[in-house]
Chain A
Amino acid sequence: MFKSQKFFRFQKKSARVIKIMKKDYKAYLGGSVIMLILISAIFAPLIAPADPYKTNVTKRLEGPSLQNLLGTDSLGRDILSRLIYAARPAVLVSFGGIIISVIIGIILGLLAAYVGGILESIILFIFDVIRAFPPIILILVLLSIIGPSLLSVIVILGVTIMPRYGRVVRAETLSEKEEDFVEAARSLGADNSRIIFKHILPNIFASVLVLSGMDMASMIMWEAGLSFLGLGLQPPLSSWGVMLQESYQYIQTAPLMILWPALAIMLTMLGFSTFAESLRVALNPKLNQEV
């Protein structure tokens, strides 16, 4: 009985959010871009017109044609197919990285807010040390220690972004802890784990969701930027950053080629950030300006 009531309340809330977002053109734009990326990533072999790794030196640097809709690159590979396949590392990096930073951030933030004392100071100190470096430089140095690979890029991005979540979760937990309904639950005999899972986490969920939408855009940006510098994902893997780097060498002779990966990155970032913005307006969480 109680469970079904709870379910209806959740349904009501999400129905309200969906209703607000339905009126917002930004939600449609962002949602369709994210869908497009996800579909290309999952069904890449079905959609791509050609093998993204098949080279053909007789057809180097050709412009758009019926056979190769976006033309061919310096090794004669089909650009459109490479672009579609490159959605895979982008999705893996953004979702993988965000999952790592959200999970670590929530755990550390809750620990800091609940245990307090020396542990809280230590956790906040770790956040401050990570935040003392410009993110891109921290990522760069860490990558040179571990060595570039898809997994190391995901983990390093996740750890670099993590303090944002830790700080938000800690701040919101501290303020939620003082709310009357939490006091009421406690006086009814609810233990800490029940209060955290039933009362605090659902209330900070909105802020975390909005922040992660914005950060997924940044992660795609950093991954492509690192690959562009030759420090992230390595060729021949097709990633937008790798494509950017490859076509940058031909910028004088074939300037059109660099446009496609650039547009893909911009569109993806635009999709994630507009969707997150629309979500923010609909959920209206008390997002902290300073993070």
Chain B
Amino acid sequence: MFIYITKRLLWVIPTILTVLLLLFSLSYLLPGDPADIILGPRATPEMAAELESRLGLDNPWYQSYLIYLQNIIKGDLGTSIFRDRSVLKVILDVLPYTVILTLAGMGLAVFNGISIGLLAANYNNSYFEKFLTMLSFITASTPTYIAGVLLIVVFSVNFNLLPSIGIGDGGLLDSIHHLIGPALALSVGWTGYIARLTRSSMLETLDQEFIQTEKSFGIPRYYILYKYALKKAIKPIIAVIGLGIGRLLGGAVFVEVIFNRPGLGRLIVDSVNERDLPLVRGGVLVAALLFVVANLIADISYAYFDPRIKQK
């Protein structure tokens, strides 16, 4: 296990270096001259040259890349062009909102998904089970943005129960009130997925011999279901949570735009639209790092719960 984890960790280093190289090359790939975008049409050539040297665009590319790497190791992600603030500060300001949103979404998905899956496994082969299976298929095929839009139409426009935009005035209750809609929207897709996983995992466990033995001992059915079977069936579900957190980070982009919340996803969308190169680089880098860590946790938890994977 230790060797497996070390190997996976070492493999991440070249990946991250290549990600950095790709992000670095964005300044050559993105359409439009950065100096033109920043300075506007009335810039003199001297101003452009001054700015280019400030952005490090006048060096050969490998030199610039090394400077870029050095700065990143020092924790300097550059300065945002339009916000005129350190990129790291801008990102750190909004990151907590995305983390809270993602965790709340995952929490809801796990709770609702496991509940639906358990019910479906309990009433297997009934019409109720067919209904629940269909429900989990429908939720699994509802994109985050559609869930968000529908929640706004129903709960904000029609019933005026939930706020449709913003994060509230900073009070705890108001923040939670503003979090319900976005977190629900984010959780919908994974609710269906976890429900299906729970159902199949439960059915597989209930089929095993030790359950039959317990039944023959006369242990009550709900006791077998929730104490013995669930304990075993929950392992694959825990294993996908790491994967899910990575996926929900992507979904947060839409939720933050629709509900007009500050967050990493909206920051990236805005900076791409504004062509704010340092901010695009910084935002995508942080998103990729979070994603890689989430995937790493997912891989390791898979290997932990299913030791056969290590050999691959």
Residues on A lying within 8 angstroms of B by beta carbon are 25-26, 125, 128-129, 131-137, 140-141, 144-145, 147, 171, 217, 221, 224-225, 228-229, 231, 244, 248, 251-252, 255, 258-259, 262, 265-266, 269-270, 272-274, 277, 289-290
Given contacts A128-B11, A262-B149, 7 further A-B contacts (CB under 8 A): A134-B249, A137-B265, A225-B145, A225-B254, A244-B149, A262-B150, A273-B140
B30 interface hit (Cβ, 8 Å): yes
Docked CA distance A135–B252 (Å)? 12
Contacts of A262 in B (CB 8 A): 146, 149-150
Instruction: Show 13 residue pairs from A and B whose CB-CB distance is below 8 angstroms, ordered by the A residue.
Output: A125-B14, A125-B18, A133-B19, A136-B251, A136-B253, A137-B268, A140-B268, A145-B29, A229-B254, A269-B143, A270-B137, A270-B141, A273-B137
Docked CA distance A219–B159 (Å)? 33
Known A-B contacts A229-B257, A252-B157; the reply to A290 vs B152 at CB < 8 A is no
B31 interface hit (Cβ, 8 Å): yes
- Say yes or no: A141 contacts B143, CB within 8 Å: no
Most buried by A among B16, B268, B298: B268
* Chain B: minimal CB distance from A147 (Å): 7
A131's closest neighbor in chain B, by CB? B295
- Say yes or no: B149 contacts A137, CB within 8 Å: no
Which residue of the partner chain, among A25, A137, A171, contacts B253 with CB atoms under 8 Å?
Answer: A137
- Say yes or no: A269 contacts B141, CB within 8 Å: yes
3 closest A-B pairs by CB: A269-B141, A134-B250, A136-B250
Docked CA distance A272–B143 (Å)? 14
Known A-B contacts A147-B31, A248-B149, A273-B140; the reply to A171 vs B19 at CB < 8 A is no
Docked CA distance A94–B31 (Å)? 27
A224's closest neighbor in chain B, by CB? B143
- Say yes or no: B268 contacts A273, CB within 8 Å: no
Most buried by B among A141, A171, A252: A141
Which residue of the partner chain, among B22, B146, B287, contacts A134 with CB atoms under 8 Å?
Answer: B287
Docked CA distance A272–B141 (Å)? 9
Known A-B contacts A140-B268, A252-B157, A258-B149; the reply to A273 vs B141 at CB < 8 A is yes
Docked CA distance A218–B309 (Å)? 26
Docked CA distance A265–B130 (Å)? 23
* Chain B: minimal CB distance from A83 (Å): 15
Contacts of B251 in A (CB 8 A): 136
- Say yes or no: A129 contacts B15, CB within 8 Å: yes
- Say yes or no: A129 contacts B18, CB within 8 Å: yes
- Say yes or no: A265 contacts B250, CB within 8 Å: no
Known A-B contacts A137-B250, A144-B272, A171-B312; the reply to A132 vs B149 at CB < 8 A is no
Docked CA distance A224–B16 (Å)? 30
Docked CA distance A255–B272 (Å)? 29
Q: Mark B151-191, 1 if CB is under 8 A from A, else 0.
A: 01100011000000000000000000000000000000000
- Say yes or no: A266 contacts B138, CB within 8 Å: yes
Which residue of the partner chain, among A125, A141, A224, A270, contacts B138 with CB atoms under 8 Å?
Answer: A270
Known A-B contacts A147-B31, A229-B254; the reply to A133 vs B145 at CB < 8 A is no
Contacts of A147 in B (CB 8 A): 31
Instruction: Find residues 1-47 in chain B having any chain A CB closer than 8 Å to their own CB.
Output: 11, 14-16, 18-19, 22, 26, 29-31
- Say yes or no: B141 contacts A132, CB within 8 Å: no
Instruction: Find residues 210-233 in chain B having any chain A CB closer than 8 Å to their own CB.
Output: none
- Say yes or no: A229 contacts B269, CB within 8 Å: yes
A25's closest neighbor in chain B, by CB? B130
* Chain B: minimal CB distance from A228 (Å): 6
Docked CA distance A140–B254 (Å)? 12
- Say yes or no: A133 contacts B291, CB within 8 Å: yes
- Say yes or no: A141 contacts B153, CB within 8 Å: no
- Say yes or no: A129 contacts B22, CB within 8 Å: yes
Docked CA distance A125–B15 (Å)? 7
B246 interface hit (Cβ, 8 Å): yes
- Say yes or no: A132 contacts B19, CB within 8 Å: yes
Which residue of the partner chain, among A132, A258, A274, contacts B15 with CB atoms under 8 Å?
Answer: A132
Known A-B contacts A132-B16, A229-B269, A252-B157; the reply to A137 vs B143 at CB < 8 A is no
- Say yes or no: A266 contacts B291, CB within 8 Å: no
Contacts of B146 in A (CB 8 A): 244, 262, 265-266
Known A-B contacts A132-B19, A251-B153; the reply to A289 vs B236 at CB < 8 A is yes
Contacts of B29 in A (CB 8 A): 145
